[in-house]
Amino acid sequence: MIDQILMVLIDGINYSAWLFLAAVGLTLIYGVMKIVNVAHGSFYALGAYMAASVVGVWVTLDYPPYLYYLALFVAALISGFTVGPFVERVLLRYQYEKDEVVILLITYALFLVMEDVIKLIWGVNPYFIVEPYAYLGNFSVGDMTYPNYYILMFGLAIAVGLTLTFVLKKTHFGRLLVSVIYDREISAAMGIDVGKIFVVTFSVGCALAGIAGAFTAPTISVSPGLGVEVIVLSFAVVVTGGLGSLPGVALAAIIMGLVRSFCIHYIPQFELFVIFGVMALVLSFRPRGLFSLAEARKI
Amino acid sequence: MKFKKALVAGLVSGLALTSAHAQNEEPINLGVVTFLSGPAASPFGVPARNAAELLIQEFNAGTAPAPYNQKGFGGSPIKMTIIDEAGSSTSVVTEFRNLVQRDKVDLIVGYISSGNCLAIAPVAEELKAVTFLFDCGTPRIFEESPKNYVFRAVNHATADSVGAARYLKAQKPNVKNFGGINQNYAWGQDSWKDFSGAMQVLYPNSAVTTSQMPKLFAGQYSGEISALMASRSEVVHTSFWGGDLEAFILQSAPRGLYKNSDVVLVAGETAMYRLANRIPDGTIIGARGPYGVLAKESALNTWFREKFTDRFNVPPNYTAYQMAHSMMAAKLGYEKAMAANGGKKPNSDQIAAAVRGMEYEGPGGVHKFALSNGHQAVSETAYGRTKLVNGEMTIVDVMRFPAEQVMPPDGLKSSDWIAGGMKSN
Amino acid sequence: MNFDKSIVRLAIVFIGILLLSGFIPQWALFMLTIACANGMAVLGLMLFLRAGLVSFGQALFFCTGAYAAGLLALKLDITEMTFLIIISGIASGLMAYVLGFLLAKYRGIFFGLLSLAFSMILYGLLVKTEALGSTDGFNVPAVTIFGWLPDLSVVRVAVLGMAFLIILLSVSFVNMLLKSPRGLLLTAIRDNEIRAEYMGASAKKTIHLFYVVSGVLAGLGGAIAAVAVGHIDPTMSFWTTSGEMIFIAILGGTGSVIAPFIGALIFGIIHTIAFSYSPNTWQMVIGLSLIFVILLLPNGLWSLREKFGKRKS
């Protein structure tokens, strides 16, 4: 009985960590900029492909294996901080006064474009960078073996969550961000450089998506269409947690991961509905998600 | 009024632009439809496109081995019009109609997704367009209603899972239980149904431990792998393909799934080359027929493999073989019809009549259009086990099963045939 | 009754197309029919855009209508198109009525994402249902129109004609609805919902009503698509289908009830041009054209009318 519970827990937490990493960038961007970034999945894919290239080179040049993880991280940062600012300045900058929907559509168009650009750059053949995954070995719980990579992902999710919380609460930049989250106009009126905040936030959000992609890459084959599933899943997690809320996305990820793990072990046929089912259920009782930002109503 | 004029002008030139693309002079216009984007592109769509390009080049130059050595199709050069199979079924049907009616292709070879095959088959009948479905697996195409212009030059999906079950039976007289992990969509559901049905026939006392059905393109299988390992199944069946298959192998192998269970990768051949040293020895691999590494030695096979590997730097996988077979069947049928028509260009009815019941040879061996009034081809199928030799992936323990043992007889639906004990006549 | 001039013009264009159908290639007739089906669904979307709401789950009703029509034709042997259309409309209307109780409470992005969730749940249900063919779907048998079974050579025109009839009826109805007090409320709700409620109107009831109307329209569109394409599968409920509809809505603009149909037609043309000329990068072509339209023509193609249109003296 205990090992059953442990099994569900371990798999559940692993999936939750992945969900959290995949979704956190989306919620950050929405919280600050009120944009639903449909291209989020493409940045995830970009991170994965970039990681595949960087680690591929790393392995060929026989650099030290324990630095793989640094390489993955750097690859993700490169993807987020090169393409992110470019997209934000060129495409999004002039659209902020417009409807939320218009920006969403721009990001949808961006997603379509990025899918093909990635295909043009990296081709359709899959990339494998299994080394970082295999290097860490396994651990056992009872008679089940799990890869130590699970622990890495869990640690990474915690690290990302804590760092973001620290930045938002304790740093000067964080406080500016929170101000912009609550009211963009007043913040600008008070002298905050909203434009700069937007560029940085968007890039960080994209880099976070890239981190999720980069660290997932060693466990899969990096091939076209990688990002499409992630978009829908991230949306579900973010909306359930409350758009723009960091603790929300964490809690939603935990709930969905555990419920899904339970489903797989006991009622595998319902796995298809779990994510959206949880989302619909939560939204029926708490229309704005688990944690939502207070918003002033304009009369 | 100006606006209306501008709008009408715009629409007309838009429509004209789309039709300007159609060309048909003397060459044979061959429409090819396969996945050029999305997750099915890399394991299936692009190898198929490559095979198509290679064969057309060889056919046009007249350098293919006999009986395919006539230039082009019956002397006329082949011109390929290729489109992406991606999109909703509405868009796939629209583009099929455009290929036939606007671009005026003479023949079509295409379609990987069973849903798309089902959608365009009635349209092919309506438009009297001879179409070779080269990869999709569903038996429903011909079982639901007879066809006059639609052909499939290779086995359908029933042969894959039944073949897997027969391979197991030949190697293990007793199997107590088995489990599966399949993508939760038509292909995965049907494969599992066929396999579990076949296993019930061959091992009447066996039980199903667990049937995991993750979403298509899920990519993360940690939970499912745990469930499979906890179930202690003697045999694990999976019809996973592409990125999902590769992710599954990468995630399950290090955890020891293959030590405790005999894992059957029904569509595993596409992953073999790229994941060579990650697939544990002894894994049972299928190639959806006698294709790829499971193909028998023959002059045609050697020729095809050499040419393909030379040009594309990778050996041809089973989808490339399926495309090659369909192209060869199309060429042979066309030339047969042309000969029967006194050397003049045959029409669709004549081509269809020529292909019906035809027997032809491809790199995977001899296939015969034996089922569904001569529209569905049958061939033997093969399974083997992987073994890494000096870092090279090889296949050992290969067993072949003749068509009657893995494909239903004419007139009987696959599901009924399996339920009735899979008797070969 | 005072018919809107654009609807009269639309009717004239339709009759013109039908009369000239002998000269229009079959593939173009098919594309027009699909544009009609998509346009119907987008007409429903447009109603919501007027209220400031975007539904990302319009595909849900499109799919419901299509499956209703398909199942009736296949399993119950009802092949008369008028029945299929009517029953599809009722089915999707009912679905919208039930879901509307939940959805009418939401605004903004939540409305959009919750409608997305429901469309994906329907997708999941259909994929799980092997009896309906799961992702392979099933084929729709040939239909009769007012009792007459069209011959293969005229079936495209016949189905198109039927689609035109449905469009004209729907467009007239929607026009009437938008000019009615309820319809004018929509714009009021978008501008300032609280004030509208202070006036005594019920925002929730209005949105619920329009949700049902929108659902019926999309369902009718789905039925037309089912009959024209002859095949139904769960992708009709997938989020990318809703995405295409939103694209068409933006392309056409919200200026008039006939804008969705123009948008749908242009989308069809862009789609097929992208496929023919760049089979390896068609997604990029469509993405770039969407960006182009959004940046340069934010009110959709219909806004071109003002630029080139009549100058009233």
How confident is residue B9, by pLDDT bands cut at 50, 70 and 90?
Answer: low
How many Å lie between the alpha carbon of B275 and the closest alpha carbon of chain A? Answer: 8
Select from A7, A229, A268 the Cβ nearest to the Cβ of B210: A268
Grouping H, G, I as helix, E, B as strand and the rest as coil, residue B210 is strand
Give tens-digit pLDDT for B279-337: 999 999 999 999 999 999 999 999 999 999 999 999 999 999 999 999 999 999 999 99
- Average pLDDT of chain A is 86
Tell me the helix, strand and coil percentages in chain C, rounded to 5.
75, 5, 20
Q: Can you tell me the ipTM of this complex?
A: 0.86
Sort A191 into a burial class: Cβ within 10 Å, 0-12 / 13-18 / 19+: exposed
Cβ neighbours of C134 in A, within 8 Å = none
> Which amino acid does the sequence have at A68?
Y
Note whether B15 contacts C: Cβ–Cβ < 8 A: yes
Note whether B156 contacts C: Cβ–Cβ < 8 A: no
How many Å lie between the alpha carbon of C206 and the closest alpha carbon of chain A? Answer: 19
DSSP state of C310: P
How confident is residue A293, by pLDDT bands cut at 50, 70 and 90?
Answer: low
Select from B3, B101, B119 the Cβ nearest to the Cβ of C309: B3
Closest CA to C246 of C31, C54, C52, C36: C54
Distance CA(C260)–CA(C258), nearest Å, equals 6
- Other beta carbons within 10 Å of B173: 8
Find chains touching chain C: ≥3 CB pairs under 8 Å.
A, B
**Cβ contact (<8 Å) for A287 and C110?**
yes
Distance CA(A268)–CA(C182), nearest Å, equals 47
- Say yes or no to pLDDT of B72 above 50: yes
Instruction: Give whole-number Cα distances, B77 to A46, B61, B63, B72, B81, in Å.
Output: 42, 9, 13, 4, 13
Distance CA(C275)–CA(C265), nearest Å, equals 16
Read off φ and ψ for residue A92, nearest 5 degrees: -90, -25
Select from B3, B18, B90 the Cβ nearest to the Cβ of C272: B18
Instruction: Give whole-number Cα distances, B265 to A58, A269, B386, B390, C135, in Å.
Output: 32, 21, 11, 23, 22
Select, from the ranges A113-117, B66-70, B133-137, C245-249, the one with the highest average predicted confidence (pLDDT).
Answer: B133-137
Instruction: Please indicate whether residue C309 or residue A230 has the higher confidence score (pLDDT).
Output: A230
Structure token digits, residue A16: 């939750």
Distance CA(A20)–CA(A22), nearest Å, equals 5
- Alpha-carbon dihedral B142, B267, B87, B24, rounded to 10 degrees: -70
**Cβ contact (<8 Å) for A225 and B256?**
no
How confident is residue B197, by pLDDT bands cut at 50, 70 and 90?
Answer: very high
At residue C169's C-alpha, the angle toward residues C165 and C173, to 5°, is 165
Give tens-digit pLDDT for B392-401: 888 999 999 9
DSSP state of B363: T
How many Å lie between the alpha carbon of A64 and the closest alpha carbon of chain C? Answer: 39
Residue of A nearest to C105 (CA): A287
pLDDT of residue C35: 93
Cβ neighbours of A101 in C, within 8 Å = 49, 54, 112, 246
Give tens-digit pLDDT for A72-128: 888 889 988 999 899 888 888 877 777 777 788 888 889 989 988 998 899 888 888
- Say yes or no to pLDDT of A213 above 90: yes
DSSP state of A88: I
Distance CA(C26)–CA(B128), nearest Å, equals 14
Grouping H, G, I as helix, E, B as strand and the rest as coil, residue C77 is coil
pLDDT of residue B10: 55
Instruction: Give whole-number Cα distances, B382 to B241, B254, B291, B385, in Å.
Output: 18, 27, 8, 11
Mind giving me the DSSP string for A202-271?
A: HHHHHHHHHHHHHHHGGGS-B-TTTTHHHHHHHHHHHHHH-TT-HHHHHHHHHHHHHHHHHHHHH-GGGH
> Which amino acid does the sequence have at B158?
T
Chain A: residues touching C (Cβ < 8 Å): 36, 91, 95, 98, 100-102, 104-106, 108-113, 115-117, 119-120, 232, 235-236, 239, 243, 269, 272-273, 276-277, 279-280, 283-284, 287-288, 297-299
Interface test with A, best of B192, B226, B317 (most A CBs within 10 A): B226
Closest CA to B355 of B372, B341, B375, B339: B375
- Other beta carbons within 10 Å of A140: 10
Grouping H, G, I as helix, E, B as strand and the rest as coil, residue A17 is helix
Instruction: Please indicate whether residue B99 or residue B24 has the higher confidence score (pLDDT).
Output: B99
Find the range with the poorest average confidence among A200-209, A281-290, B118-127, B184-193.
A281-290
Residue of A nearest to B189 (CA): A269
> Which amino acid does the sequence have at A272?
L
> Which amino acid does the sequence have at B180?
G
- Residue with structure tokens 């009986």? B67
- Other beta carbons within 10 Å of B420: 12
Tell me the helix, strand and coil percentages in chain A, rounded to 5.
75, 5, 20
| DSSP E strand stretches across C8-111 | none
Grouping H, G, I as helix, E, B as strand and the rest as coil, residue B238 is strand
- Alpha-carbon dihedral B172, B173, B179, B180, rounded to 10 degrees: 60
**Cβ contact (<8 Å) for C128 and A269?**
yes
* B186-190, long-range: CB < 8 A, 24+ apart: B186/B114, B186/B115, B186/B138, B186/C130, B186/C133, B186/C134, B186/C135, B186/C136, B187/B114, B187/B137, B187/B138, B187/B157, B187/B239, B187/C135, B188/B213, B188/B216, B188/B239, B188/B240, B189/B213, B189/C130, B189/C134, B190/B137, B190/B138, B190/B157
pLDDT of residue A216: 92
Residue of B nearest to A230 (CA): B218
* Mean predicted confidence (pLDDT) in B157-185: 93
The stretches in chain C having pLDDT less than 50 are 1-2, 310-313
Structure token digits, residue A26: 């989306």
- Which stretches of B100-139 are DSSP H helices? 114-127
Tell me how many residue pairs between chain B and chain C have CB atoms under 8 A apart. 134
Q: How many CA atoms lie within 13 A of B372 on its CB side?
A: 26
Note whether C152 contacts B: Cβ–Cβ < 8 A: yes
Distance CA(A250)–CA(A248), nearest Å, equals 5
**Cβ contact (<8 Å) for B94 and C137?**
no
Closest CA to A260 of B179, B185, C135, B224: B224
Contact B59, B78 (CB under 8 A): yes
pLDDT of residue C300: 66
Boundaries of every domain in chain C: 5-18+27-238
Instruction: Please indicate whether residue A288 or residue B156 has the higher confidence score (pLDDT).
Output: B156
> Which amino acid does the sequence have at B290?
P
Element (H, E) at B132: strand B131-133
- Say yes or no to pLDDT of B24 above 50: no
Element (H, E) at B399: strand B392-401
* Mean predicted confidence (pLDDT) in B2-15: 55
- Alpha-carbon dihedral C115, C117, C118, C124, rounded to 10 degrees: 150
pLDDT of residue C290: 84
Read off φ and ψ for residue C50, nearest 5 degrees: -65, -30
pLDDT of residue B134: 95
Distance CA(B124)–CA(B139), nearest Å, equals 17
How confident is residue A299, by pLDDT bands cut at 50, 70 and 90?
Answer: low
Q: Which residues, in sequence order, are CB contacts of A239 under 8 Å at separation 6+? A: A279, A283, A289, C110, C113, C114, C117
pLDDT of residue A43: 94
Ordered structural domains, chain A, with CATH: 2-285 (1.10.3470)
At residue B151's C-alpha, the angle toward residues B146 and B152, to 5°, is 115
Select from B3, B11, B89 the Cβ nearest to the Cβ of C137: B89
Q: In what order do the strands lie in the sheet with B150-151?
A: B78-84, B28-34, B107-110, B131-133, B150-151
Ordered structural domains, chain B, with CATH: 25-156+297-378 (3.40.50.2300), 158-287+380-419 (3.40.50.2300)
- Left (φ > 0), alpha (ψ -120 to 50) or beta: where does B374 sit? left
Cis amide prior to B204 (ω within 30 degrees): no
- Say yes or no to pLDDT of B216 above 70: yes
> Which amino acid does the sequence have at B164?
A
Interface list for C 86-145 with B (CB within 8 A) = 127-128, 130, 133-139
Distance CA(B72)–CA(B53), nearest Å, equals 12
| Beta strands B392-401 and B381-389, pairing class | antiparallel
Interface test with C, best of B89, B125, B127, B414 (most C CBs within 10 A): B89
pLDDT of residue C310: 45
Contact A246, A111 (CB under 8 A): no
Closest CA to B162 of B412, B425, B411, B404: B404
> Which amino acid does the sequence have at B69?
N
Cβ neighbours of C280 in B, within 8 Å = 36-37, 84
Q: Which residues, in sequence order, are CB contacts of A285 under 8 Å at separation 6+? A: none
Select from C109, C239, C287 the Cβ nearest to the Cβ of A110: C287
Contact C255, C299 (CB under 8 A): yes
- Average pLDDT of chain B is 90
Distance CA(B3)–CA(A290), nearest Å, equals 50
Find the range with the poorest average confidence among B156-170, B245-259, C48-62.
C48-62
